Amino acid sequence: MKQNRLGGSELHVGEIGLGCMSLGTDEEKATALIHEALERGVTLLDTADLYDSGRNEELVGKAIRGRREQVVLATKVGNRRIPGQEGWGWDPSKAYILSAVKESLRRLGTDYIDLYQLHGGTLEDPIDETIEAFEQLKQEGVIREYGISSIRPNVIREYASKSSIVSVMNQYSIVDRRAEETVLPLLEEKGISMIVRGPVASGALAANRQPSKAVPDYELEELLQLRGQLEQLTSEGRSLSQLAIRYSLSHPAVAVAIPGASSREQLLQNIAAADIPALTEEDVQLIRRLSKAGVYKLHR
């Protein structure tokens, strides 16, 4: 599998990673999927303390025992469980980040995290304090690098100018091209890598699966029409899912796409996108003409 560098860091990742959120809570099944992914060249495993209230981190940690050196391990922080209250609160404070990382390390069964990511963010956050926390953890060797997971261009712009983030995780697909307007050009200019989540748009662009509901900016009828047009660009060796993943990898600022997988079939379909040729510029431009770009409101 092709390896790409994350930003200006020493971290190199296979161009197809694994978003672990959809693994579920069955340990045997999750372990089997992670092991298969690693054996087929996946290196980036992305989880978060939020997923299944920490259970996802535990499953990932157990699955990589004895294989830690094979993995670029990424997790996230910022969502805080408040005792006596339902749900999660948002806490990007330095004190909380320095505390939460210890719990993530415990659940993951490791003494360092390759990529620690702020799981959201607003302009009202104490951004300088948040950056201080990540920089301290980096200096202490607790994390190797840090990034943010955000779809807000103004927040991304703040971190890109003030911090040493190496990556931004952002939603990007053929049916959600908002990142092309502001985020991707900014990241390319700054030498920061994008980690793409949702390249298959929660199954809307999955092969052998007919969507039953609309997605933002596309009514169901429009989505089905687009799928029909895109399927004309597929071939015996390139499914619709793989076309969608390759599209998300076509921008030079993108280092890795992390489609989720809840079954071995989905996992193999996703990973196979690494074995097909990159899209030609002609393919990319045709897909852009067929799809919509940034019609619905940007998140600020």
Once rounded to an integer, what is the mean pLDDT over residues 264-276?
94
Catalytic residue among 51, 96, 172, 247: 51
The span from the CA of 130 to the CA of 296, in Å, is 30
Confidence of residue 294 (pLDDT cuts 50, 70, 90): low
CA trace torsion 14, 16, 21, 27 (10° rounding): -70
CATH 3.20.20.100 fits 3-290, yes or no: yes
Q: Which residue has the higher pLDDT, 83 or 284?
A: 284
Q: Is the dihedral of CA 245, 246, 252, 256 positive or negative?
A: positive
Confidence of residue 207 (pLDDT cuts 50, 70, 90): confident
Confidence of residue 102 (pLDDT cuts 50, 70, 90): very high
DSSP assignment of 19-66:
EGGGG-S-HHHHHHHHHHHHHTT--EEE--TTGGGGHHHHHHHHHTTT
Token digits of residue 108: 């993951």
Average pLDDT, the chain: 93
Confidence of residue 86 (pLDDT cuts 50, 70, 90): confident
pLDDT of residue 298: 40
Phi, psi of 119 (to 5 degrees): -90, 60
Once rounded to an integer, what is the mean pLDDT over residues 12-34?
95
Neighbouring C-beta atoms of residue 181, cutoff 10 Å: 12
Confidence of residue 160 (pLDDT cuts 50, 70, 90): very high
- The region of weakest confidence among 14-23, 83-92, 120-129, 269-278 is 83-92
247 is an active site residue = no
Confidence of residue 188 (pLDDT cuts 50, 70, 90): very high
Domain ranges, ordered by start, for the chain: 3-290
pTM of the entire predicted model: 0.94
pLDDT of residue 209: 83
pLDDT of residue 87: 76
Confidence of residue 295 (pLDDT cuts 50, 70, 90): very low
pLDDT of residue 235: 82
